Amino acid sequence: MTKILTITNQKGGVGKTTTCVNLAASLAATKKRVLMIDMDPQGNATMGSGVDKHHLKNSVYEVLIGEATMEESIITDAPAGYDLVGANGDLTAAEVELLQLPRREFRMKMALEKVKANYDFILIDNPPSLNLLTVNALAASSGVIIPMQCEYYALEGISSLVGTINKINKRLNPSLKIEGILRTMFDPRMSLTKDVSDHLVEYFGDQVYRTVIPRNVRLAEAPSHGLPALMYDKNSRGSVAYLALAGELIRKSKQHDKKQADKQEQED
């Protein structure tokens, strides 16, 4: 069963794009079929996957407004090892144009219908704001991965984001849930980091991933080379952490699928 996961946080600079690119590469390295969709007009996830955002034949913009299908827009030979639908500055105009279109919150969901069965995981990167692009991603997804730094203001921001997810769940997508909370740029030497981390685990329990992503120079350098960290330096602490996250995500997915199968069997 395909897992469609939105990676989002309304706060910028918490590692959303880094997580999307490196998790996609790590899942692909475990032989999973992966599609990554860049929903951020900055196109950083596109560039970080080794694809020039300025030379896209079709981007997610054309998909959302109906000028191209998802099948026509997927790049299957991206250097990062997974399939990609890229984005660039054209996407900025999509928000205004979407307002005029039918089922404007469900354009991404409809576009994915014909291709989702081809993948094990579909990851969607988002801009650091709650706009119609992010709403499209959330309406199309089964789960949300929330990357966050362990700092004071992050705790305030996450309560707002959880409220948003609950509203989307009630109004647009009853299948949507928090897949997991990922602690990024983790520095165990800082007491505040440990305090915030403890609060997260206390409040969210097993929704907090066991894997933490450390502050890592190689992880920060990789995007400038247009590569996931796994291809830039597979032995770096950042690469190893995202491989561990991929393993944790796959295990959780298997457990969930087994529970669903058992539940279906009991109902039958």
pLDDT at 130: 85
CATH number for the domain whose boundaries are 3-267: 3.40.50.300
Domain ranges in the chain? 3-267
User: What is the phi/psi pair of residue 226, to 5°?
Assistant: 65, 35
Note the pLDDT of residue 81: 93
The encoded tokens of residue 58 equal 């079709």
- Work out the mean pLDDT of the chain and round it to a whole number: 93
What is the mean predicted confidence (pLDDT) over 128-137? 92
Nearest partner of 85 among 135, 133, 139, judged by Cα: 133
Answer for the pair 84, 35: CB distance below 8 angstroms, yes or no: yes
Q: What is the pLDDT of residues 17-50, one digit of tens each?
A: 999 999 999 999 999 999 999 999 999 999 999 9
**Is residue 260 pLDDT above 80, yes or no?**
no
Which tokens belong to 187? Answer: 């520095």
Amino acid (1-letter code) at residue 256: H
Q: Which residue has the higher pLDDT, 265 or 56?
A: 56
* 258 pLDDT more than 80: no
**Taking residues 197-220, what's their average pLDDT?**
92
> Using CA atoms in the order 131, 65, 116, 2, what is the torsion angle rounded to 10 degrees?
10
